[in-house]
């Protein structure tokens, strides 16, 4: 009986010394460390606009009789855009032409009288005083005729000014008046844009605008079709911020102008800046252990994990910037770090790599 009891105790002792079960293999997500050499400064909406625009107005006042074109129409140089009711200018021209006809008749009479007085004086039967008077009257009539001719030319110009014509090939981008409206001299009527030279226009926050440097890069892409893209450089920045939006308008020169970038096209402009290489990872990689920050490194050969302490430079919106403790190309666990143990085997899904 004692023998069997000793055997039972030995068996119980052997069972109590068995190895604990191995840690379960945990599936993990990971990120591959890459060096970031470009800092994202933001993305802003804008439009494609013409670099050169001109706003035209009539050189005389009056009531607009017709608008011949609409917004978006292309026009050629000297093409008629709008006309005023020409009644006033036509009446003025007829009045000036009547004045000219009257003074021309006076000039012809003065010319004939001066010629007659000269002939009488040459024959010795005319007085010098009469000749001098005739010459003076001729000069006065000549001056009056020249003045009347200038008035006719001016009235004819005023009639021509009742027609508004394009001063260059362009696209109509805006009408400020309607047919039937009375306009004054120089009042803005229509805005023309030259379609051959285009640029990107965006509004930037005042704080960002003040930090723009020569190293800032602008990537321009279409909002509806992001595959249509180009790069741009800063051409002009408004010196003062808008009082309502606290933004400053920036005008960008496009390196290339893709055909889909028509006037008015909505665009998205991304600002980036070259920086010293640094490592940015999701904030979920960090684990705080006794006040020390660490991450978990995945060994691609053994599929095990090991902790490593790191130094943090900054944290912002779900991401962290590290300065030490990790190298480019290493795999870092990005989810479930609190349930890992040193040397634990993990299952990595290559398709889940971030």
Q: State whether 262 and 286 are in the same domain.
A: no
pLDDT digits (tens, 9 = 90+) for 88-137: 899 999 999 999 999 999 999 988 988 888 888 888 887 888 888 988 98
Note whether residue 74 is domain-resident: yes
Note whether residue 11 is domain-resident: no
Residue ending a domain, choose from 276, 295, 317? 276
pLDDT of the residue at 4: 46
Q: Which domain holds residue 174?
A: 56-84+163-193
pLDDT of the residue at 354: 54
Q: State whether 233 and 301 are in the same domain.
A: no
pLDDT digits (tens, 9 = 90+) for 313-337: 788 778 888 877 788 888 888 887 7
pLDDT of the residue at 2: 45
Q: What is the CATH number of the domain that holds 290?
A: 2.40.420.20
pLDDT of the residue at 10: 52
Q: State whether 270 and 203 are in the same domain.
A: yes
Question: Which positions of the chain have pLDDT values less than 50?
Answer: 1-2, 4, 6-7, 9, 15, 351
- Secondary structure of the chain in the HEC alphabet? CHHHHHHHHHHHHHHHCCCCCCCCCEEEEEEECCEEEEEEEEEEEEEEEECCEEEECCCCCEEEEEECCCCCCEECCCCEEEEECCHHHHHHHHHHHHHHHHHHHHHHHHHHHHHHHHHHHHCCCCCHHHHHHHHHHHHHHHHHHHHHHHHHHHHHHHHHCCEEECCCCEEEEEECCCCCCEECCCCCCEEEECCCCEEEEEEEEHHHHCCCCCCEEEEEEECCCCCCEEEEEEEEECCCCCCCCCEEEEEEEECCCCCCCCCCCEEEEEEEEEEEEEEEEEHHHCEEECCEEEEEEECCCCCEEEEEECEEEEEECCEEEEEECCCCCCEEEEECHHHCCCCCEEEECHHHCC
pLDDT of the residue at 58: 94
Q: What is the CATH number of the domain that holds 92?
A: 1.10.287
Domain count of the chain? 4
pLDDT of the residue at 73: 92
pLDDT of the residue at 254: 93
């Amino acid at each position: 009986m004692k023998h069997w009891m000793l055997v039972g105790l030995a068996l119980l002792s052997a069972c109590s010394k068995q190895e604990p079960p191995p840690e379960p293999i945990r599936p993990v997500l990971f990120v591959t460390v890459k060096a970031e050499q470009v800092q994202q400064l933001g993305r802003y909406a804008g439009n494609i606009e013409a670099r050169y625009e001109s706003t035209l107005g009539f050189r005389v006042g009056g009531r607009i009789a017709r608008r011949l074109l609409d917004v978006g129409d292309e026009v050629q140089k000297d093409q008629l855009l709008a006309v005023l009711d020409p009644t006033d200018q036509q009446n003025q021209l007829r009045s000036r032409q009547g004045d000219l006809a009257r003074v021309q008749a006076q000039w012809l009479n003065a010319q004939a009288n001066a010629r007659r007085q000269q002939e009488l004086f040459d024959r010795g039967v005319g007085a010098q005083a009469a000749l001098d008077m005739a010459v003076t009257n001729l000069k006065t009539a000549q001056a009056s005729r020249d003045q009347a001719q200038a008035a006719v030319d001016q009235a004819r110009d005023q009639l021509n000014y009742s027609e508004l014509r394009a001063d260059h090939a362009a696209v109509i981008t805006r009408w400020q008046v309607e047919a039937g409206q009375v306009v004054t001299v120089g009042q803005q009527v229509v805005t023309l844009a030259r379609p051959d030279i285009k640029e990107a226009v965006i509004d930037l926050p005042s704080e960002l605008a003040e930090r723009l440097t020569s190293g800032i890069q602008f990537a321009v892409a279409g909002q509806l079709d992001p595959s249509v893209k180009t790069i741009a450089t800063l051409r002009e920045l408004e010196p003062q911020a808008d009082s309502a939006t606290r933004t400053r308008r920036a005008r960008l020169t496009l390196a290339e102008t893709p055909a889909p970038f028509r006037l008015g096209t909505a665009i998205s402009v991304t600002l980036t800046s070259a920086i010293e290489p640094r490592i940015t990872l999701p904030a979920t990689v960090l684990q705080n252990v006794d006040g020390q920050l660490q991450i978990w490194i995945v060994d691609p050969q053994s599929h095990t994990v090991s902790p490593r302490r790191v130094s943090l430079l900054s944290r912002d919106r779900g991401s962290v910037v590290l300065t030490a403790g990790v190298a480019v190309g290493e795999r870092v666990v990005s989810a479930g770090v609190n349930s890992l143990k040193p040397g634990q085997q993990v299952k990595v899904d290559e398709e889940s790599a971030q």
